[in-house]
Chain A
């Protein structure tokens, strides 16, 4: 008789809330930096986003008859709301965050069956729906230079968050990098002239000194947060690498052949939401494929689609659309790239057995 062995189960101490806590920890530096860049209105927005997400989560948990505190404590709603806040224009009015939380938590997550059941990444789907529904509010960007040189006081900030101070916003607004570059290229201007005029430099991008979403600002801090998660094994490397390659390689190739028309890889990776998406969004375990190879493919698809939408589409930023499209492709990916069942090959056939055990085949 064979010796009894342990079951093929690996144990780790990772509970859901511990994982979520580490994600939050990784997001914190970039968030704090954004608060500093964009001032009180950004903080207000973040508070509204997180608060209303917890409110919607509790409400819908109650409606579906689930244990409210047990589910609230897992921190998933908090992370979703946090990422959503990072995807909004920093001075957006409160109702945008309130409604966005509703879309993310209630419509995308809870209606599909709650945590683990949603098809789409809640934050990305909510961002896309908001962008389609409120294109004006969702593209009113704030120039960080203006804010850091003249911070609005707290009273003005409240007015901005409550949507009562449009003239205050006008004084600070500015187009995003991606938007400007796309527009000017459309008019046949040369890329090299453009980037000089725009004060474009990798350093400025790393420091977040250009208009954009709340959390897209500092690629460097987001990158550090992402590397921290990789180090802690909260996320695996396949999906992030896929995004970076998927967006970077075509951008580099296009830039190589037509340097005056297509911006290069660094530009595409460091502007907009690519870094945020690569480390914090496509790594969402619920809406990504189950296998490592599947996740690599998923990431590649997200990156490539984002680059295609940015370059040839109508929108200057396409990462959110790309993630949603790839989310809907996940069942197909999972169908063709299956996890290997223990004791079987990838195709599902039994592993070849050793000749020795073959002889005693009839024993059991």
Chain B
């Protein structure tokens, strides 16, 4: 019996695809110039992740060890192509923004990794929970990175949200800093690395604080890694 809350915590935080496993960095760097793009990429990846993992879990008894990797890749590639065609046909405006990067989902090792590590060994239901949580974890990570870069880089948040979510979500677009000069480097590719670096620091800092609180009574000097001065 699998503990669902553990799966959820795993996907959303402890084993977060971006912030803990450091997977999926290619799409992370490429599209997260704005929070909206991050959200769009996150949702597209989410769809492929859940879909492919469900299929992998469904056929897991029939897949032989020797050919499992090609089989998984064919499944993932098919789903990516389907996503690509559907977005192209029915959400053309979004396709113009994300189009180039949707094909990148196929080389996203996070999906293959999850298929191999979890879906191929667990029941359909567990896989659904796991991949959903992993997908949400990935999506919020992409939105966070996008927001970080967008706020500091161009002073807005959720710019062009109406293109992704429809006119009714236009209100999401906020100009946080009017007349902002723009910190260009964060919008350019190096900014992706810088943003991920800072957010990793933030996550580990939070983790450290949490574990400190928990362990304080038993081992108080446990976390001091650095500190020849203090």
Q: Contact at A129–B185, with CB atoms within 8 Å? A: yes
Min CB–CB distance B192 → chain A (angstroms): 14
A65 to B224, CA, bound (A): 10
Query: Complex Cα distance A265/B185, Å?
Result: 33
In this assembly, does A5 line the interface, its C-beta being within 8 Å of a C-beta of chain B?
A: no
Find residues 99-133 in chain A having any chain B CB closer than 8 Å to their own CB. 107, 129, 132-133
Q: Contact between B185 and A132 (Cβ–Cβ < 8 Å)?
A: yes
Residue of B nearest to A163 (CB): B181
A64 interface contact, C-beta 8 A: yes
Q: Does B101 contact A (CB under 8 A)?
A: no
Mark contacts of A249-272 with chain B using CB atoms, 8 A cut-off: 1 yes-contact digit, 0 otherwise. 000000000000000000000000
Cα distance, A81 to B115, chains bound together (Å): 51
Kindly state the separation between the CA atoms of A137 and B229 in the bound complex, as whole angstroms. 39
Chain A proximity mask over B206-230: 1 for CB below 8 Å, otherwise 0: 0000000000000000000011111
Q: What is the predominant secondary structure among interface residues of chain B facing chain A?
A: loop
A134 touches B184 (CB 8 A): yes
For B148-190 the 0/1 string (1 means CB < 8 A from A) is: 0000000000000000000000000000000001111110100
Contact with B along A178-220 (1 / 0, CB 8 A): 0000000000000000000000000000000000000000000
- Judged by DSSP, the binding face of A is helix
Q: Quick one: which of B183, B184, B186, B228 contacts A66, CB cutoff 8 A? A: B228
Q: How far does the alpha carbon of A133 sit from the alpha carbon of B194 in the complex, in Å?
A: 13
Q: Which residues of B contact A68 (CB under 8 A)?
A: 229
Bound-state Cα–Cα, A70 to B229, Å: 10
Q: Is A155 an interface residue (CB 8 A)?
A: no
The answer, among B181, B183, B184, B226, for a CB contact under 8 Å with A65, is B226
**Which residues from 45 to 71 on chain A have a C-beta closer than 8 Å to any C-beta of chain B?**
61, 64-68, 70
Size band of the interface chain B makes with A: 10 to 19
Chain A residues near B186: list those with CB within 8 A: 133
Instruction: Tell me whether A133 and B228 are in contact (CB under 8 A).
Output: no
B185 touches A133 (CB 8 A): yes
Nearest residue (CB) in B for A96 is B181
Q: How far is the CA of A64 from the CA of B228 in the complex (A)?
A: 10
Q: Which residue of A lies closest to B184 (CB)?
A: A133
Question: Closest Cβ of chain A: how far from B206's Cβ, in Å?
Answer: 16
CA distance A350 to B182 in the complex (A): 58
Min CB gap B72→A, angstroms: 37
How distant is B150 from chain A, measured CB to nearest CB, in Å?
15
CB distance from B71 to the nearest CB of A (A): 41
**Which residue from A61, A64, A132 sits with its C-beta under 8 Å from B184?**
A132
Name A25-61 residues within 8 Å CB distance of B.
61
Q: Do B226 and A134 touch across chains, with their CB atoms under 8 A apart?
A: no
Q: Are B229 and A67 in contact (CB under 8 A)?
A: yes
Q: Are the C-beta atoms of B181 and A64 separated by less than 8 Å?
A: no
- Please indicate the chain A residues that have their CB under 8 angstroms from the CB of B226 in the complex: 64-66
Cα distance A67–B229 in the bound complex, in angstroms: 5
Known A66-B228, A129-B185, A133-B186; further 5 A-B contacts with Cβ < 8 A? A66-B226, A67-B228, A67-B229, A133-B182, A133-B184
List B residues at the A interface (Cβ < 8 Å): 181-186, 188, 194, 226-230
> 9 smallest A-B Cβ distances: which pairs?
A67-B229, A65-B230, A133-B185, A65-B227, A133-B184, A66-B229, A132-B185, A133-B183, A65-B226
